[in-house]
Amino acid sequence: MLVNMKEILEIAERERYAIPCINTPNVETIRAVIGAAEELNTPIIIDHAEVHDSLIPIERIGPEMIKYAKEASVPVCVHLDHGTDYNFVLRAIKAGFPSIMYDCSALPFEENIAKVKKFVQIAHAAGITVEAELGVMASTEEDTHADAETQVLTNEDIKKFFTEPEEAKIFAEETGCDALAVCFGTMHGIYAEPPVLDIDRVKEIRAALPKDCRVVMHGASGVEFSQVQNAIDAGCSKINYYSYMAKATTKFVGELIAEKEGKIAYHEVQEEAYKFMKSYAKEVILAFKNGK
């Protein structure tokens, strides 16, 4: 069933677990992620990143995402990830997305507030939930959904992007956003060294935000599940995950083709990749369920 983000994140925070938000740039990934959620009888968020539009336009993949969400036996939110271009955000709304991340985090603090606040007023009037971001989420080498120049960042480098709890409070109260992606030790892509999360900062941000604004963690791929679970305990109720799943699937497909000595049809490769991704997604969902 198709739902908006607000209602399932309310449940997640109350039950002290997190909903995975996983990129689904093709039908096999949509099937895999929703199939995993159905087998585990848990809500899920699937999203389309603006930077994947060159791979597959939202007008093509959006209807597929919504179709599978409506047919699912569990609540599924269809979400736009990192919408930075306002025209693209409008295209997502036209495509029927019930949840939008309007990402103005690269702008100065006051401008970020002003743009998100204006959009929230429009979106809420249409029953659409809004995620924003405060503190720039860095992108590392092999980021699967970035168009920026790749970077090699250490844990010390990442600290300059951290979100300040007091600014998060002002931002959420001023904009009225439903969820806020914050920076506390993660980044997009493949890590140069094992990440270290500032869990105390998450606790401070959660305490500072309005009760109905949820804390979001991006860049969970590559973070030890024990650290992710600590972040959930500290207040994260939506966690984005994709890069390592995508790379693991590529590795699996390469090994499969080598094992078969190339004697395997493309459609068979697709189905095997779907099965692998579904199994991988189940592991992620179970970890984020946090023992629930």
pLDDT along the chain (292 residues), means of 10: 92 93 96 98 96 93 97 97 94 96 95 98 96 77 48 62 93 98 79 79 96 90 85 94 92 95 93 97 93 72
Angle between the N-to-C axes of helices 109-125 and 86-94, in degrees from 0 to 180, rounded to the nearest 10: 20
- State the pLDDT at residue 147: 47
| β-strands 214-217, 179-182 pairing | parallel
Distance of CA 145 to the CA centre of its chain: 11
| pLDDT reported for residue 115 | 97
81 is catalytic: yes
The reported pLDDT for the residue numbered 153 is: 56
> What's the pLDDT at 224?
85
pLDDT at position 192 is 61
- The domain in which residue 96 lies consists of 2-288
Number of domains composing the chain: 1
Q: How many CB atoms lie within 10 A of CB 20?
A: 26
According to DSSP, the residues that pair with 45 across neighbouring strands are 21, 77
Smallest CA-to-CA distance from 74 within 212, 291, 281, 255 is with 281
- The residue annotated as part of the active site, out of 81, 143, 178, 198, is 81
Given this model, what pLDDT does residue 145 score?
Answer: 46
Residue 257: exposure state from Cβ atoms within 10 A (0-12, 13-18, ≥19) = middle
Position 148 scores a pLDDT of: 46
Q: What does the alpha-carbon distance between residue 67 and residue 205 come to, in Å, rounded to a whole number?
A: 36
pTM of the predicted protein model: 0.90
Q: Which CATH number goes with the domain that contains 86?
A: 3.20.20.70
Alpha helices in 238-265 (DSSP H): 243-259
